[in-house]
Amino acid sequence: MTSTQPQVNPKVFSVVWFGQLVSIIGSGLTTFALGVWVFEQTGSALLFALIMLFRTLPGLLISPLAGVLVDRWDRRLVMLLHDIVALLAIVGLLLMVALGQLAFWHIYLATTVLSLLMAFQQPAFLASITLLVPREQYVRANSMLQIALGAEHMLSPVLAGMLLPLIRLEGILVLDVVTFLFSTITLLLVRFPRLAESAEGAASRGALGQEIFHAWRYLAQRHGLMGLMLFLALVNFLFGFFVVLVGPMVLSFTTEQVLGVATSIAGSGMLVSSVILGVWGGPKRLMHGVYGGVLLFGIALMVAGTQASVVLISAGGFLVLFSLPILNGCVQALLQRKVVADMQGRVFATGRILAQTSAPIAYLCAGLLADGVFVPLLVAGGPLADTVGRVIGTGPGRGIGLMFLIIGGLTVGAVLLGYLYAPLRRLEEDLPDAAVPAATDAGPLPDPALANLSVSSVSSGSS
């Protein structure tokens, strides 16, 4: 396919990114506050885990359909629709709290709606990078996305922990509404380039079912990409245990304020790593970043599980989240380089369902295994209290600590398995890069005041 470099506009990307950053922090406040509310009401790790299950599973189930529609529609409008409907969902929760009628099913329903919306927003945002950012800056652009997530993990928990006693759950929800309004305004101020159709994209057009099937076939015919998705599925399954159980483990022996501080310390690892990745530009061999990120995650998980210590859990969490931008930035840059631009929506969505379906399974398994198996093993006088308990301790949270030690070891083993699979190890050499997308004018530039929000690492340097 012959094409020309699109009229990229990193300033537009930076404006959109900043709006999403603010919104992500607001959503992080809500996620933390709802999780604390559920756990304090019930003390159940399983009911706590169900929030993550409903936040993930519905979106995964509709990902193939969402990806096809993202490729057909304007990607900016998809993101705009996400923000508006998500805002309405949070308003619904706020109304229930104000009336004193908030129930578990309201939370699960709202998180289901947000999950469905994310199935459209995520591939639209990732695919927009190829339109707005030069190819040599893909890793840096993806590092900015990781900075946004890192800010959520670092700022949202400590802010929520401080604000919950002062403004309660309803105040947190009001802040989330305001942040969604801000991100909506930033999307209204910009325009994305109109993507010209590639020959490969045109050949895949047809009925919805046909286009969904073509995305699956696209990955299946490229063994390295399919291997990457399956490798990530295993990693996401293991990571899912950490996501669900670190909160209950800390809350089992300390307060929500301490959890907020510990979670923020852990989240700072993601922010620090994202900034380093943005300045560095990532490794020349992106697969080295993938393997290295997962290896660090496994080691860090074992550190977090060693003792019932806020210091050790915070340090382990810091390293766990430090590993994520390296892994995610390299994976996303690989996909953006290897997949043609006008098929990225459906291929990214199909890859998401392959790579992330394991996460909600882990959320459910984590709660069941923690409550029913591992926690009883290491209570005082439990079956392992006089053996394993002599090493890692007994009492609140120690069963979950044992789970972290086991899962960390399995993660290190997963890296070895991934490296032994040659199509994955040689993905960059064996699969040629996709042609640079052709695009028409992006429309008017954003307001100059907003354009100054551009981050220099996106528009300079090389990877």
- Could you please report the per-residue DSSP string of 252-314? TTS-HHHHHHHHHHHHHHHHHHHHHHHHH---SSHHHHHHHHHHHHHHHHHHHHSSS-HHHHH
Whose structure tokens read 């002599």? 390
Series of mean pLDDT values for 10-residue runs along the chain (463 residues): 50 89 90 85 78 84 86 88 94 92 90 91 84 81 80 78 86 94 94 68 66 85 92 94 89 83 84 86 89 96 91 93 90 87 81 84 87 90 91 89 95 95 93 69 40 30 31
Sign of CA dihedral 393, 396, 399, 403: negative
CA 37 – CA 106 distance, rounded (Å): 13
Q: pLDDT at position 457, please?
A: 31
At 387 the three-state DSSP class reads coil
CATH at 207: 1.20.1250.20
Residue 383 φ/ψ, nearest 5 degrees: -55, -30
Q: Are residues 268 and 324 in contact, defined by beta-carbon separation less than 8 angstroms?
A: no
What is the residue range of 284's domain? 10-430
CA 57 to CA 360: how far, in whole Å? 6
- Non-local (6+) Cβ contacts of 439 within 8 A are 6, 7, 131, 193, 194, 195, 196
Place of tokens 């990571």: 239
How far apart are alpha carbons 37 and 48 in whole angstroms? 9
Asked whether 361 and 233 are in contact (CB, 8 A), the reply is: no
279 token code pair: 């300045």
Is the separation of the CB atoms in 15 and 190 below 8 Å? yes
CA distance 67 to 180: 23
Asked whether residue 132 is assigned to any structural domain, the reply reads: yes
284 is a domain residue:
yes
Residue with tokens 């098929």: 343
Cα three-residue angle 394-407-426, rounded to 5 degrees:
160
Q: Residues near 352 by Cβ (< 8 Å), separated by ≥ 6?
A: 60, 63, 67, 119, 122, 123
Residue 148 lies in a domain: yes
Q: How far apart are CA 122 and CA 345, in angstroms?
A: 9
Whole-angstrom Cα Rg for the chain: 22
Please indicate, yes or no, if residue 134 is contained in any of the structural domains. yes
Q: What are phi and psi of 439, to 5 degrees?
A: -150, 155
Residue 210: CB atoms within 10 Å: 11
Q: What is the pLDDT of residue 347?
A: 86
Is 447 part of a structural domain of the chain? no
For 310, other C-beta atoms within 10 Å of its C-beta total 16
- Residue 456 pLDDT: 29
Angle at 320 between CA 39 and CA 422, to 5 degrees: 125
* 44 lies in some domain: yes
What's the number of domains the chain is made of? 1
- DSSP string of 345-372? HHHHHHHHHHHHTHHHHHHHHHHHHIII
3-state secondary structure of 445: coil
| Prediction pTM value | 0.71
For residue 41, what are the contacts with CB-CB under 8 A and spacing of at least 6? none
Contact 61, 75 (CB under 8 A): no
Q: Is 329 part of any domain?
A: yes
Q: Decide if 2 is inside a domain.
A: no
Among residues 444, 12, 8, 28, the alpha carbon closest in space to that of 186 is found at: 12
Report the C-alpha gap between 323 and 269 in whole angstroms.
8
Q: Are 259 and 401 in contact (CB under 8 A)?
A: no
